[in-house]
Amino acid sequence: MSKISIFIFIVLPAFYSVTTYSQNMNSPYSVYGVGDIDFRAYNRTSGMAGTGLALSSSFYVIDNNPASIAGLPRSFYTVDVATAGKSVQYKGDPISATNSSNKDFWIKRLGLAVKINGSWASSIGIRQFSNINYKFSGNKPVEGSTTTYVTAYEGDGGLNEYYWNNAFLISKHFSAGLRSSVIAGAINQTETISDDALQSVITTKQQDYFGQLRFQAGALYSTALNKKWDISLGGKFIPKIKMVAERTLTVTENGTVLVEDDFIKYGRFYLPNTYAAGIALKKNRKTTFAFDYNYEDWSSLKIKEAGWQLVSSHRFSGGVEFSKQQYVANQLFEKRYFQVGAFLNNSYLQIRNQPVTEFGFTAGMGGAINNSLLYTIAVEAGSRGTTQAKLIKENYVQLTLGFSYRDFLFSKGRKYN
């Protein structure tokens, strides 16, 4: 065991001690760490593969960079919600005709943003940080014997990020922001052992409860290059944090509780230093070209166990947006937009010496339904993992749908201008 006491699922030994197994899951890779950590922003940038570190908007809440919401207009508040549905096809040796596909649906984020005065914008909300969703079964051998038990493993739960984002317009061209978050939630793992001869079913449920503060700092600089072109540069930094989990155990036999919510120990998991930067070029304020790079320093944490380890990750993304605008009452409004994008993600997982990489392509559009209600819709098609070393490859299609409601702020019956 390494010096870093990390959060390890009870199901991990099953990959090495269970002789045969079948699977039914939304993501087999959520068995590692704190589950599938979702890097997607689920906002207006979804159709550009989430590329948005150098972008801001006066119509939509773009918060890929904590400094970006400083671009929101004064006198308005915005409520936004985003949902996603995903269909996955699996390939690999553990996959059969009965478990080769799956579908799922989530509410990914819910937030409220407001420009408090001419230079200060603030937002609060909740978003999904990680997801646990797997199930597999097999025959578990008894040590020192040829006897085996039918064993099923299942994981569910995940972590959410509860955030408060504050951004400040320092000058006409420069803004800075700080995002304060609490990452919290429960991760559940259940092992069920069946013995037909003894007519006994023993279920062991392990629960880990997390809760930890996390901060993100961001900056955004924008300026005009000439009459046609504008450029913006953005970046953010997230420092390393230690996440402490309180672990409890519940054991039942044939429905009779033997142990109930007994505290076992405190576990630890780390999130690494993260560095990200982006650039965006906009022509005539209608056509936008953007590129982002994101680096997470997992390797420095030295989290490594039998058959798997966490390695530093690199994510590249880029996209193009075309905006259709019109003047109404001498003011410029956006009617709708269209986007395309692509990304390549060398993830933090390396299993059986195989990197778990992911790539995908996106397309999206959005616009105004009426003066107050905006919509965004994006589709993503991608692939993650490999079939080498008896791993599982996921081919997926994901549809993201979001809505934003904007209206004037009122205070003591007076409307702000």
In a domain, 5, yes or no: no
Q: Cα 89 to chain center, whole Å? A: 20
Mean pLDDT (whole number) for 276-301: 96
pLDDT at 9 over 50: no
In a domain, 6, yes or no: no
Residue-wise pLDDT for 368-391, tens only, equals 998 889 999 999 999 999 999 889
Q: What's the CA gap between 301 and 316, in Å, rounded?
A: 22
pTM over 0.85? The answer is: yes
Domain that holds residue 316: 14-415
pLDDT-derived band at 5 (thresholds 50, 70, 90) equals very low
In a domain, 337, yes or no: yes
Q: What's the CA gap between 146 and 194, in Å, rounded?
A: 16
**CA nearest to 32, candidates 300, 370, 303, 272:** 303
The pLDDT of residue 15 is 34
pLDDT-derived band at 12 (thresholds 50, 70, 90) equals very low
CATH of the domain at 169: 2.40.160.60
Cβ atoms of residues 360 and 86 within 8 Å: no
In a domain, 7, yes or no: no
The pLDDT of residue 299 is 95
pLDDT at 236 over 70: yes
pLDDT at 348 over 50: yes
Mean pLDDT (whole number) for 311-317: 97
pLDDT-derived band at 1 (thresholds 50, 70, 90) equals very low
Q: Which two tokens stand for residue 312?
A: 């530093």
Mean pLDDT (whole number) for 49-61: 94
Residue-wise pLDDT for 61-87, tens only, equals 999 999 999 999 988 899 999 999 999
Mean pLDDT (whole number) for 388-405: 94
In a domain, 394, yes or no: yes
In a domain, 3, yes or no: no
Please state the domain count of the chain: 1
Render 241-303 in DSSP notation, one character per residue.
EEEEEEEEEEEEETTEEEEEEEEEEEEEEEE--EEEEEEEEEETTTEEEEEEEEEE--GGG--
pLDDT-derived band at 329 (thresholds 50, 70, 90) equals low
In a domain, 277, yes or no: yes
In a domain, 9, yes or no: no
The pLDDT of residue 259 is 87
**Please, what is the average pLDDT of the chain?**
87
